[in-house]
Amino acid sequence: MQEKRTVKGEKLPNLAVRGGVGFGLGGAIGGAMWVAFDAPHLGFATLGAVGGAFLGSALKDRKRPWLLAFAGAIGFTVGFFIPFFIVMAIWEPIFTGLFIGAIAGAIGGGVLGLALKQWKKVAFLALAAAIGFGIAVQATWDGLRGFTPQILGGAMSVAIWGIVGGASLGVALGYLETEPRK
C-alpha cells in the first residue's frame, strides 16, 4: 500500500511551472546573450541563475532563491562546458544533443541538490535534470538552425532547453519537498 503524499506550501504542478518558467526565461535571455555576445558562459550562467532563483522562491526560506541562483549559475555553466569540450575536442557521439543535455543537466541538477544539502536530492535532481535537458537539447539540436534569425534561434533553442529541463527539475523538487500524510 502506497502512502499518500502532500506538498509543503506549494502544489507539485506549481513547482513544475515555476521551474519551466524560470529556466525558460533564463534560457531565452541566456541564449540571446550567447549568440549576440559570443559568450556561452554568460548564457549558461543566466539560464542556471534565473531558473535556480525561480525554484528557490517556491521554497519557504528567504536564503534559498539566492543560494539556488548561485548554485544554478555555477552548476549549469560547468555542466554545459564539460560536454561541449568533449564534443569539440575529443569525441562526437551520434546523439550529440542528448549527450550534451544529459551531462549538463546531471551536473547542474546535482549542484542544485548540493545547495539544498541533502544527498537524496542530489541524485534525484541530477537524474531529473539529465532526462529533461537531454531530451530538450536533442530535440532542438538541429531543428531551429537556418529557420530563424541567429539571435532569435539561439534564444528559442535555449529557452526550450530551459522550459523542458526546468519543468523536470520542478517536478522532482516538488516530489522531494513532500511529506507523507499522517
The reported pLDDT for the residue numbered 62 is 82
d(CA 114, CA 121): 8
HEC profile of 126-146? HHHHHHHHHHHHHHHCCCCCC
The reported pLDDT for the residue numbered 180 is 61
Q: Is residue 2's pLDDT more than 70?
A: no
The values of phi and psi at residue 82, to 5°, are -60, -55
- Nearest CA to 19 out of 53, 42, 45 is that of 53
| Contact criterion met (CB below 8 Å) for 15 and 54 | no
pTM value? 0.89
Q: Where are the domains of the chain?
A: 5-180
The values of phi and psi at residue 172, to 5°, are -65, -45
**What's CA 38's distance to the chain center, in Å?**
21
pLDDT in tens, 20-31: 999 999 999 999
